[in-house]
Amino acid sequence: MTGSVYSELDDVLVTAYSRGHKIYFSLTRDEWLYHDNNKPIDEMRPCAKCGEKPTPEGYDACLGYLDGISSACCGHGKSNPILTKKDIEG
C-alpha cells in the first residue's frame, strides 16, 4: 500500500470510510483508527466533502432531517448518496 501509515499489513482486518475519511480496524489495538494518522476515531471528523460536522441528532449536515427516511448518507465525496425509507405499515 503506497503512502499508507499502516505499520504492518497483518494488523489490518478491514478498511472503511467514516464521513469520507479512510479508517481501518487494527487487530493489535482492537479498535478503529484513522488511516492518515493512526489515531482512534473517538472524535467525529467533519465531512470530507462539505467540511461540516454532523448535526446534534447525527444527521449529515448537508442533508439534515429527511421526513420518511430511516437512514441517509450524503456519500461524503466517496460514493453516491444513500437513502433508506422507513417501513410504513398499512
Mean pLDDT of 60-83: 91
E strands, the chain, in order: 12-18, 21-26, 31-34, 69-73, 82-85
Q: Which residues on neighbouring strands pair with residue 22, listed in sequence order?
A: 17
Residue 63 φ/ψ, nearest 5 degrees: -100, -40
Residues 32, 52, single domain; the answer is: no
E strands, 5-80, in order: 12-18, 21-26, 31-34, 69-73
Residues 30, 68, single domain; the answer is: no
Residues 7, 20, single domain; the answer is: yes
pLDDT in tens, 12-54: 879 999 999 999 999 999 999 999 999 999 988 999 999 999 9
pLDDT band per the 50, 70, 90 thresholds, residue 1: very low
Model's pTM, two decimal places? 0.72
Residues 35, 8, single domain; the answer is: yes
State which residues form the domain around 74.
48-90
pLDDT of residue 20: 94
